Each structure stands twice: as C-alpha cells, then as structure tokens.
Amino acid sequence: EVHEIVVPHIGHVPVAKGDFKYLPKQVQDFVTQWVDVCQPRAVYICDGSVEEAEEITAKLMERGTLHKLTKYPNTYICRTDPRDVARVESRTVVCSVDRYATECHTKDGAASQLAHWISPENMDAAMQERFPGCMAGRMMYVIPFSMGPIGSPLSKIGVELTDSNYVVLCMRLMTRVSHDIWRVLGNNEFVRCLHSVGCPRPVNYRVVNHWSCNPEKVIIAHMPDDRMVVSYGSGYGGNSLLGKKCFALRIAGRIAYDEGWMAEHMLIMSVTNPKGVEKFFVAAFPSACGKTNLAMIQPTLPGYTVRCVGDDIAWMRFNKDGQLMAINPENGFFGVAPGTNHQTNPNAMAALQRDCILTNVAETADGGYFWEGLEDEVDKDIPITTWLGKPYKIGSKENYPSSHPNSRFTAPAKNCPIMHPKWEDPAGVPISGIIFGGRRPEGVPLVIEAEDWKHGVFLGAQVKSEATAAAEFKGKQIMHDPMAMRPFLGYNFGKYLQHWLDMEKPGRKMPKIFHVNWFRKDQNEKFLWPGFGENIRVLDWMMRRVDGEDIAEPTAVGLVPKEGSINTDGLNINWKELFSIPPDYWKGDIHETRRYLEEQVGDDIPPVLRSELDRVEARVDAM
Ligand SMILES: O=C(O)CSc1cccnc1C(=O)O
Ligand SMILES: [Mn+2]
C-alpha cells in the first residue's frame, strides 16, 4: 500500500487511511494537485463505512464539536459558529468565460438575482487568496460519492476534498460514499469538489463551539465548464456538503443542459388511490416552503397511500418510451427542523429516532432534541439548552427561539418509514405531474392547472413566495423564486427556461403541470386551507385530471377545479374565497411578473415564454 503522496512543493505527505494507488489516475492527479496547494498534514481516503463514521464521530465528540443525544441511538447534536448558519447567496458565484453564459442580460444593467458571475481572472485571484496552505495542520479527507444509486445510468460521481470531518459524516448520510466508487468511476468524468473551512493551523483566535469557519472570506464558486466546485470559509449545509446544491443542482443543471435532461429543486413522491392506482409527482417549492412535509404526508382520506422518493432534488430524463423518469440523487434528508413535529410530519419524526445529526437545534436535559413546534411533545418543565448554549423553558420569552430558524436535521433516507420500494431504482420512477408552488397568503387559488407545457413553464417562471429562513433574506416580503431555482442556477436562466421548453417533443408523454398554494389566508389572517395531510385531496384531484376527468374549468390564469370537484368532506372550506381570482390582485401580480422577468432575464426571455406572458397578461387585463 502507498502510505504517502509525493507533491512538488512540500514533499512527502502521509496517507493516514486508504491506498492512494488504488484511486483512478485522474483522481490521484486531482488529489495531488490540491494537496500541493492546501498543504494538509495528511490525507485520509474515505470508504463510507460504519467503522469510519464511528472513528470520526468519536474524534468530533472528543473535540466538543459533536455531542451525543442519549435519548436516541447514534444521534448527535452540533452547534455551529452563529456566523455560519445558512447558505450564503451573496457569496455564491458561477464562473464562466462569457459573463452571459452565467448571467442574463438584465435590463438597465440591474444586478443579477439569477446566478452571480465571476470572471476566470477574479476566480483565480479568489483561489490564490484563500487556498494556498489553507489546510495546514489539518487532515484532507478524500470523499468518493455517487449522486444517485451507485452504478445507475442516471447517477453521477463526485470526489470531495475537505478538511471538515463534519462534512465527511454528513456527506455519508446525504450521498452514497463507498470504496466501490473508485471501481465504478474508472476513467470516467467526475465532478471535482474542493472544500475548506478556511482555518489553517495554528489558529490564533477563539473558535466558537469548536466550529472552524472563516465567514469574512466565504466563497462558494462553481466552474460548470470544468465540472468543478470550490467552497471556502463555511462548514454549513449547502455551502459545504458539495454533493447537494452545488453539484446536484448547479453543476448537474449545466450537465443536464448539455446532455438533454433536467436537474431540479423538486421533491419526488407517489400517491396510490383506493382503487390501487399509483401516480408519481415532483414538486418545486422555494426553500423551506414545505417540500419535505408534502413528500412525506400522511393522507387524511381513507384508502390513500403516499410514499416518498426524495424531498429536495430530482434528476429527470425522458426514457426511450417518451416517459419522464426521475431519481432522487440524494441518500438522506437535510430538512428544516423548526415546524417539524408529529402533527406536521410524523414520517420525518420517525426518521429522527436514530442515526441523525442535528445542527443548531436545542437540547433537552434528558438527552433529546428540541425546536419550535415540539412544545407539545416534550415535558413542559424540562430544562432546555438553546442552540446558543443558553437556558430556555417552554413558553418563556428569554432566549427564544431555542433553535436557529434554519436549524437542520441530517437523516438517512432509509430510516423514513414511507420510502417507496423503488426510491433507489436505477431506472427512476415515472412522473405524471409536475407541481410548482410557494407561500402566497393572498390572491392565489389552492391549485391551478396549466393549459399546456409552455403555460406550465410560465407558471413555474412566475413562482413567488414569502421569504423564509433558509437563506439570508428576512421578513415577510414576497420574493420571486422562478422555478424555485433562483438560488441554485448554474447557467443563464433564459437558456434554462428555453431548455425546459425544448423538453416538449413529439412522442413524449408530457406530464401535466400544476401550481399550488397551501398558504392562502382570509382577511382575518386565518388560513383558508388546512394543508398537511389534507393536501392529499388536491393530489387526488390532480390524479383524476391526469386521467382526463372533466373536473376543471378555464380561467384567465389557468384551469381551476370545478366547484365541488375536490373532496372536502369533513372540512369547513370557503370554496369561493379559496379559489377566487381577484382581478386587481392578478393585474398587479402579472405586471410584477413582467417587471421581474424583463429586469432579471431581459433579452434572454425565450420568445415562446414572452408570448405566454403576453397571452396571460392580456387575459388578466381583460378580467
Ligand atoms: O443548505 C443549507 O444550509 C440550508 S438550505 C437547504 C438545505 C436542504 C434542502 N434545501 C435547502 C434549500 O435552501 O433549498
Ligand atoms: Mn431545497
């Protein structure tokens, strides 16, 4: 076995684990290149085994980064530096030679919200400023991982180099990490991922919560042409688990554009009705708008069964029979903890009974976890320690909230009791419906069906939602989040929309496209729709529409359910208000959609989409 690597500038670097010569030559070159730059004290080639996880967990517990929750087997809690708690959109960039391969020709040079470009020169400068020597005194972990079942023709392989053992543990839960990857990869293409917390040793400042990070110098950069991602300064979630947003959406989106498939910010689920008919849906909602909850709903209608394939990312491709097939490229869930409880998502709670890592949640004195939403599920008087390490009691204002609004659970998908038997099927699952949606407290009906594919792409492009905690926006503004992909684009959004439009080809069974809004309120700020398990009623209506039942009627904004065609037995629903399409609201909304698309996509708006915008706007203006 080769127990060291020889690199030009620093000579011999020990290989603490694994056999370097077993790696494919192209991976050896990738590792050697960055060992030489980052200068770690040693290299650790991960194999994804339980033993490896136990070894690294013990190391993190010893250091105080991870704390064991005795109430649940193999479950740990982690607190970050409070400055490192969410995706950092302002520091997330995409590098391309031509600026407009990444950004759109925005109107009047407005700053792009849809992907932030960095020039190759500025990329190099940013790398030079950060990576040389950044891993001094640290271990470089080499993580071989597959997005999608190992060996599936729809899967893609990545290799992440990182100096964070927290990332090693989470990547093992979120992706498929295995020694077998090397054999499956051979000399094929792989996505290069380089991550550092940006804290070379010796560090001469106090590290908060044993969580090394370098917030001032955070950069999350993508080089789609080179199929590469580099991330520096943040240890958290989508910034550091590079298989997730960086690879599976931004880089994969560009690969999908080149290869003719789709990488989308979507859950994948199946619904089986009392007659035993099963249909699969994907749904794209902005961050923290309930994808995990919908993917795992417990139907309230008798005789319906919902199963989960994935809760956040879908890779989709039309097969030779013209059927759209989807896989979940991930292996676990990295879900928002606050608001998750046995009422809102009993299946997620079932997946949180063992083998999880919880980040920035609170801890109960009896060795359990706590977050906002669990008040009725723990002993009212139990002493709680907040994510900031402060004392908290349920009902108290002091040290509220107990958990960071973007605190997360990292859980292996296999522990979710309703995973579909085909959730790892290499061929994927057949998609009948695509659902867009967002948090719209006003004016938007419970469900709208697109008249056709291009109208559906328009419904996706006009997605908006009240801001949430998953990124750095604050407050209750209505934010645009076209296709629910605004933070996750890897190339020109106009080209991305054209790519969607180009998916429609003769011989293909184009899925129906819908838009949902669970969050409409009446003038007293009361929700008009109960949501959660009751959403099965809307999915049932969609299934019947897919089968062509005459239960929809046309409106200026699309097809809506005929009165009474959604089963509302047992509910007290104000149908009129829930489905009203207030002309003034929609006139304002469609003009805001035009303003946003003109400003942010400008000349890159695909002509077919522009004509959809004109067509719908004319109908709304005539209301
Ligand atoms: O990556 C983070 O730190 C939070 S963002 C996130 C995590 C899992 C799934 N989706 C998202 C998102 O922002 O869409
Ligand atoms: Mn997401």
List pLDDT tens digits, range 271-287: 999 999 999 999 999 98
List pLDDT tens digits, range 347-369: 999 999 999 999 999 999 999 99
Distance of CA 550 from the midpoint of ligand 1 (Å): 38
Sheet holding 384-385, edge to edge: 369-370, 362-364, 384-385, 391-392
User: What's the CA angle centered on 458, arms 91 and 518, to 5 degrees?
Assistant: 80
**Helix ranges restricted to H, 39-92:** 50-63
Distance of CA 443 from the midpoint of ligand 1 (Å): 27
Report the alpha-carbon distance of residue 326 to residue 418 in Å, rounded.
18
Distance of CA 287 from the midpoint of ligand 2 (Å): 5
Distance of CA 315 from the midpoint of ligand 2 (Å): 14
What average pLDDT does range 282-294 have in this prediction?
93
Identify which has the larger pLDDT, 10 or 331: 331
Handedness of CA 588, 591, 597, 600 (dihedral sign): negative
308 is catalytic: no
What's the pLDDT score for residue 468? 64
For 140, phi then psi, to 5°, come to: -100, 115
Checking if the pLDDT of 474 tops 80, the result is no
Report the alpha-carbon distance of residue 518 to residue 447 in Å, rounded.
9
List pLDDT tens digits, range 235-272: 999 999 999 999 999 999 999 999 999 999 999 999 99
Q: SS3 for 462-473, per residue?
A: CCEEECCCCCCC
Please report which confidence band the pLDDT of residue 109 belongs to, taking 50, 70 and 90 as the band edges: confident
Cβ(86) – ligand 1 distance below 6 Å: yes
List pLDDT tens digits, range 536-579: 999 999 999 999 999 999 999 999 999 999 999 999 999 999 99
Checking if the pLDDT of 58 tops 70, the result is yes
List pLDDT tens digits, range 168-227: 999 999 999 999 999 999 999 999 999 999 999 999 888 999 999 999 999 999 999 999
CA 473 to each of CA 289, 359, 466: distance values in angstroms, whole numbers, following the listed order:
14, 20, 10
DSSP 89: G
Q: Please count the other Cβ atoms lying within 10 Å of the Cβ belonging to residue 230.
A: 24
Write the residue with the smallest CA distance to atom 3 of ligand 1. 237
List pLDDT tens digits, range 386-405: 999 999 999 999 999 999 99
Q: Over pLDDT 90: what percentage of the chain? A: 96
Report the alpha-carbon distance of residue 337 to residue 137 in Å, rounded.
34
From 175, 236, 287, mutation site for ligand 1 pocket: most ligand atoms within 8 A of C-beta: 287
CA atoms within 13 A on the CB side of 299: 21
Cβ(238) – ligand 1 distance below 6 Å: yes
What's the pLDDT score for residue 476? 65
Mean pLDDT across the chain: 96
What average pLDDT does range 426-436 have in this prediction?
98
Q: Are residues 45 and 140 in contact, defined by beta-carbon separation less than 8 angstroms?
A: no
Q: Are residues 485 and 601 in contact, defined by beta-carbon separation less than 8 angstroms?
A: no
Write the residue with the smallest CA distance to atom 1 of ligand 1. 238
Q: SS3 for 90-158, per residue?
A: HHEEEECCCHHHHCCECHHHCCCCCCCEECHHHHHHHHHHHCCCCCCCCEEEEEEEEECCCCCCCCEEE
What average pLDDT does range 32-61 have in this prediction?
97
Report the alpha-carbon distance of residue 590 to residue 618 in Å, rounded.
10
Residue from 365, 292, 287 nearest 69 by CA: 365
Amino acid 526 reads K
Atom of ligand 1 nearest to the CA of 286: 14
Cβ(312) – ligand 1 distance below 6 Å: yes
Amino acid 304 reads Y
- Out of 289, 308, 356, 416, the active site residue is 289
What's the pLDDT score for residue 429? 98
Please report which confidence band the pLDDT of residue 1 belongs to, taking 50, 70 and 90 as the band edges: low
What average pLDDT does range 481-500 have in this prediction?
98
Report the alpha-carbon distance of residue 506 to residue 288 in Å, rounded.
36
Atom of ligand 1 nearest to the CA of 236: 3
DSSP 521: B
From 195, 334, 483, mutation site for ligand 1 pocket: most ligand atoms within 8 A of C-beta: 334
Report the alpha-carbon distance of residue 374 to residue 306 in Å, rounded.
24
Distance of CA 569 from the midpoint of ligand 2 (Å): 33
Q: Are residues 349 and 335 in contact, defined by beta-carbon separation less than 8 angstroms?
A: no
Checking if the pLDDT of 10 tops 90, the result is no
Checking if the pLDDT of 449 tops 60, the result is yes
What average pLDDT does range 501-525 have in this prediction?
97
Please report which confidence band the pLDDT of residue 147 belongs to, taking 50, 70 and 90 as the band edges: very high
**Residue 192: strand, helix, or coil:** strand
Residue from 403, 424, 415 nearest 326 by CA: 424
Amino acid 451 reads E
Q: What's the gap between Cα 401 and its chain centre?
A: 24
What average pLDDT does range 13-40 have in this prediction?
97
Handedness of CA 592, 577, 543, 273 (dihedral sign): positive
Write the residue with the smallest CA distance to atom 11 of ligand 1. 287
CA 27 to each of CA 36, 45, 159: distance values in angstroms, whole numbers, following the listed order:
14, 11, 8
Here the tokens at position 605 are 């708006």
User: What's the CA angle centered on 515, arms 588 and 461, to 5 degrees?
Assistant: 60
Amino acid 488 reads F
